[in-house]
Amino acid sequence: MTSNFFKILNSIHSKTVIITGASSGIGRACALVFATEQPNLVLAARDTKKLKEVAELCRQKGAKVLIVATDVAKEDDCKNLIMETIHKFGTIDILINNAGLSMRALFAETDLSVLKKLMDVNFWGTVYCTKYALPELLKNHGSVVGVSSIAGYKGLPGRAGYSASKFAMNGFLETLRIENIKKNLHVLICAPGFTASNIRNTALTKTGVAQSESPLDENKLMPPEEVAKAILAGIKSRKKVIILSTIGKLTVLLNKFFPYFMDKMVYNRMAREADSPFK
């Protein structure tokens, strides 16, 4: 009886969940993992063809699904996403800010438009969606999730714009949590390590062109489903921060006490990548 009560209490059944960047990678995995609990799912991304494919798989698992074509770098798109969600399902309980973009180039050689684009997607996309969803989330004592990165805790060479955007996301979400500490708003920052997804294939070069090929062996990286399950568990237990992977946890921990040592370690690690922009 007691176990069933807590199971129902922690369920997201019939709750309304928005997932940005839901067409692939961690966002797609979140959609499929969350769908098993039969919530109202709102899937957002630019690629509507892929969204429709994900939506059908989610419906087969019992979820009610709305897809909204959204470029999170555009404020009006984010506002429309929230309005469409409320129009369809009446409210918002969980917002997962997952849409993201990476880069791979030395800052000295990178066009500034690349950094601006990363900030627009990774940081401002989170800000826009959260701003417009916040009234409903506060009303429901809901959850705001930011899919960050270990790069949001330790600067990664060759990823200046990516690290900057994730540091900014972390600071924004932490401030949001503190400002609403008496309003029972749940704010979760999830920092995966290297995860198997297409984010490295779409990572921008110094000129802003997608590099198209990952420098890592994607088969050896953390599966996105593992990240999705951790996020779901984190929402249910209302955790504040989730650092994933052993290397990720060690990086964040050691950086607190031995930052200069970690500078060298991170440099050496990233320099070993195939076609690294620095040696």
Q: Which residues are catalytic?
A: 162
Residue type, 216: L
- Supply φ then ψ for residue 179, to 5 degrees: -60, -30
CB 68 within 8 A of CB 44: yes
Q: What is d(CA 76, CA 81) in angstroms, rounded to the nearest whole number?
A: 9
**Tokens 């990774």 belong to residue:** 122
Short-list 254, 12, 270, CA closest to 145: 12
Helix-then-strand count for the chain, H and E: 10, 7
What's CA 40's distance to the chain center, in Å? 19
